[in-house]
Amino acid sequence: MPKGIEGSNPSLTAINSVNQRKQATHMKEPVRVTVTGAAGQISYALLFRIAAGEMLGKDQPVILQLLEITPALDALAGTVMEIEDCAFPLVAGIEQTDDPDTAFGGADYCLLVGARPRGPGMERKDLLKANAKIFSAQGAAIDRQASRGVKVLVVGNPANTNCLIASRNAPNLDPSRFTAMTRLDHNRAVAMLAAQTGSHSTVVDGMIIWGNHSATQYPDIHHCRIDSRPAVELVEHEWVERRFIPEVQQRGAAIIKARGLSSAASAANAAIAHMRDWALGSAGRIVSMGVCGDGSYGIEKGLVYSFPVICENGGYRIVQDLAINDFSRAMMTATENELRQERDDIADLL
């Protein structure tokens, strides 16, 4: 008998009071946001920002549905007390549970964070054995329980292949509902290029992360503009090849080495940006998302691969017809091959 759904259920009182305020202020109907691994470090930076309206807008009430493993439910109760103590106007209810079917019930947005993080000296794909089964079980529960228009973001590593597993275990949902997070890599690449060119990150446009959220990912500046000037005219190719690409690829490991723990606040920030753009649009700007490949750019159909996308009208589309030179093609193929290998390693879960 799962513990959970105790203490801080979405009380009718809370929902009623949001309903009253909704009528007074023209707020929207509450939506259900499921976050897994809700007692972990990323979630500690994530939940408060979702509750504050930074993900779905300041007019969008949310019911938080928080999933943890049984031993972490006490810690989760502490996080929930803190959310309650913020008295967020947009929080219409909070559920806490160790039962995936409960957590994903009616979910409109699912952020799959709960998974083991890597330690020093590990690659993210070393986590595949430990984490893959989490995503087959959760994909199946999402298939049974979530809203048919659900938007799923997989953060837990290795994010692309975990996303593939979740999606394949949800045969009644379109694979386009499932995405993997490469926005942190995208933001890292934007910040590094801005620093190198003495610009502000807000004037860097058109960054692309291709492929896997791993050390083979390809941060590509060929379509990037800085204050409308092509980035390739502002930096040396040698810097791109020897410094920029490896540093973006290895940034997660550098943070683990420095902190003794993997990135958390920046990962939460990227998750907020990914979901916000998907839900509300990216205002015509290219962002990077791991999505189910449709054969674009010759990448094998069905792999969860990071592409340049534009988000609009609650959906996303892969940006087409970008010119790809030989250097880029080799990098894109290397990361595609790694994703193929990861997929083949967990073939029994698909």
CB nearer to ligand LMR: give 119 or 315. Answer: 119
Q: Closest CB to ligand NAD among 12 and 130?
A: 130
Whole-number minimum distance, CB 127 to ligand LMR, in Å? Answer: 8
Q: Are 157 and 127 in contact (CB under 8 A)?
A: yes
**Helix (H) or strand (E) segment spanning residue 44:** helix 41-51
Scanning residues 14 to 73, which ones bind ligand NAD (CB under 6 A)? 36-37, 39-42, 67-69, 72
Among 153, 165, 184, 289, binds ligand LMR (CB under 6 A): 184
Smallest separation, CB 138 to ligand NAD (Å):
7
Determine which one of 213, 222, 237, 274 is catalytic.
Answer: 213
| Residue 155 interacting partner from ligand NAD, ligand LMR, none (CB closer than 5 to 8 Å by kind) | ligand NAD
- Cα 32 to Cα 6, 55, 151, 314, 349: the distances in Å are 18, 13, 11, 16, 28
Query: Can you tell me the distance from the alpha carbon of 270 to that of 264, in angstroms, rounded to the nearest whole number?
Result: 10
Distance, CA of 50 to CA of 111 (rounded, Å): 11
Residue span 157-196 as binding mask against ligand NAD, x where in contact by CB under 6 A, dash where not: x-x---------------------x--x------------
Which three-class secondary structure state does DSSP give residue 286?
Answer: coil
Closest CA to 252 of 300, 227, 222, 215: 215
Tell whether residue 335 is a contact of ligand LMR (CB under 6 A): no
Q: Count the residues of the shown chain that bind ligand LMR, applying the rule CB under 6 A.
A: 11
Helices 251-259 + 183-197 axis angle, to 10: 90
What residues contact residue 60 under an 8 Å CB cut-off, 6+ apart? Answer: 27, 28, 31, 53, 90
Rounded least distance, CB 143 to ligand NAD, Å: 16
Q: Which pairs from 19-25 meet CB under 8 Å and 24+ separation?
A: 21/89, 22/61, 25/59
Kindly compute the dihedral angle of the four CA atoms of residues 252, 258, 262, 264, in this order, to the nearest 10 degrees: -100
Which of ligand NAD, ligand LMR, none interacts with 255 (beta carbon under 5 to 8 A by kind)?
Answer: ligand LMR
One character per residue 140-169, x = contact with ligand LMR (rule: CB under 6 A): -----------------x------------
Tokens matching residue 85: 């103590």
Give CA–CA dist 152/175, Å, rounded.
Answer: 10
Could you give the CA distance from residue 97 to residue 48 in angstroms, rounded to a whole number?
A: 18
Taking the complex as a whole, the smallest distance from the CB of residue 292 to ligand NAD amounts, in Å, to 17
- Between residue 218 and residue 277, which ones bind ligand NAD under the rule CB under 6 A? 262-264, 267
Q: Which x/- pattern over 103-142 shows residues binding ligand LMR (rule: CB under 6 A)? A: --------------xx-----x------------------
Bond from prior residue into 158 cis (ω within 30 degrees of 0): yes
Nearer to ligand LMR, 31 or 255 (CB): 255
Q: Which of residues 237-296 bind ligand LMR (CB under 6 A)?
A: 252-253, 255-256, 262-263
Instruction: Indicate if 213 belongs to the active site.
Output: yes
Which one among 14, 51, 80, 115 touches ligand NAD, defined by CB under 6 A? 115
Token pair 């008998």 is found at 1
Angle 115-348-160 from CA coordinates, rounded to 5°: 45
Interaction site with ligand LMR (CB under 6 A)? 117-118, 124, 157, 184, 252-253, 255-256, 262-263
What are the residue numbers of the active site? 213
Interaction site with ligand NAD (CB under 6 A)? 36-37, 39-42, 67-69, 72, 113-118, 134, 155-157, 159, 181, 184, 213, 262-264, 267
